[in-house]
Chains A and B, each alone.
Chain A
Amino acid sequence: MNALVVVPTTTWYLVLSAVLFVIGMVGVMVRRNPLIMFMCIELMLNAVNLSFVSLGRRLDDIHGQSIVFFVMVVAAAEVVVGLGIIVSIMRRRSGVNADDLAELKG
C-alpha cells in the first residue's frame, strides 16, 4: 500500500502551474468576452502564485509566500477596477465583445 503513495515534488507543482498559466493565456487569446478574459487573467495570476509558493518551499524561504500575499492584494484591486470599467462600458451598449471596444480609440 505504501508504494502507491507518491509524494509530489516541486517539479510537479511547477508543471501544474505552467499548465494553468497556459490555459489562462490561450483563454485570453481566444475568447472575446471581456469578463471571461478577466477570469483567464485571474487564472494566470493564480498559476504564478502557485509557482511562487512551490519555489519558496523548495528554497526554504518565507519570502515566496509574502510575495504571494502582495500579488493577491493587487489582483483584488485590479479586479475591482476592471469590473467597474467593464460595467460602465457595457451599460451603454448591448453586446459584449472585446473587438467592439476598438471604437473607443481616439
Chain B
Amino acid sequence: MRSNPVHAALSLVLTLFGVAVMFVAQHAEFLAAVQVIVYAGAIVVLFLFVIMLLGVDRAEDLRTEPLAAQRWIAGLVGVAMLGLLVTAILTGVDAVYPRGEGIASVVAGDNPDANIDQLAHIIFSDYVVAFELTSVLLLVAVVGTVLLARKRKAAKS
C-alpha cells in the first residue's frame, strides 16, 4: 500500500482515464470528454493543489493502527460486498433487455455529433429543470467555498 497522498492522486488520474476509455468504448463520447476535462483536469488538480497547500505530501505511517480490528473488518466487508455485487450482476444481467428508444452513435449513422446531439436534446427537454437546478447548485457551492476559505477579519468590538 502506498502511503503518499500524491501517489494516490496520480493513480486516481490514471483510473479516471481508464474509465474515460470505457466510456469511449461504449460510445459515450461526450461523457468521456467531460470525464477527462472535469475529473482528470479539474478535480484531481484541485486535490493536488490542496495536498501541496497543506503540506501533507509526506508519507504517513500506515503501520500504526489505533483500531487493530478495523482493517480486517473493512477487508471482510469489502470482500462480502464484492461477492454480493458480482452475484447480483451475474444473476440479474439477463433480466435487462433493450427497451429504450435507442442510442445514436457515430457507428450507426454518419453524423459525427450524434451522441452530443441526442444528449443535448434529452437534457434540454426532459431534464431542463434538473439542469437549471445544477446551475443553482454550482453557484451555491462557489459562493459557499469563497465564504469558507476567506480570511476572517478580527471581530469588531
Interface on A for B, CB 8 Å cutoff?
8, 10-11, 13-16, 18-23, 25-26, 29-30, 33, 35-36, 38-39, 42-43, 46, 49-50, 53-63, 65-66, 68-70, 72-81, 83-88, 90, 96, 99
Q: Is the CB of B89 within 8 A of A15?
A: yes
Known: A16-B22, A58-B96. A33 touches B54 (CB 8 A): no
CB atoms of A88 and B122 under 8 A apart: no
Chain B, Cβ-Cβ closest to A90? B54
Interface of A is mostly: helix
Count residues of B near A (Cβ-Cβ below 8 Å): 72
Q: Does B77 contact A (CB under 8 A)?
A: yes
Q: B90 and A11: CB pair below 8 A? A: yes
A69 touching B101, Cβ below 8 Å: no
Contact of B145 among A22, A66, A81, A96 (CB under 8 A): A81
Q: Which residue of A lies closest to B123 (CB)?
A: A66
Residues of A within 8 A of B51 (CB): 35
Complex: how many Å from CA A19 to CA B82? 7
Separation of A27 and B89 alpha carbons in the complex (Å) = 23
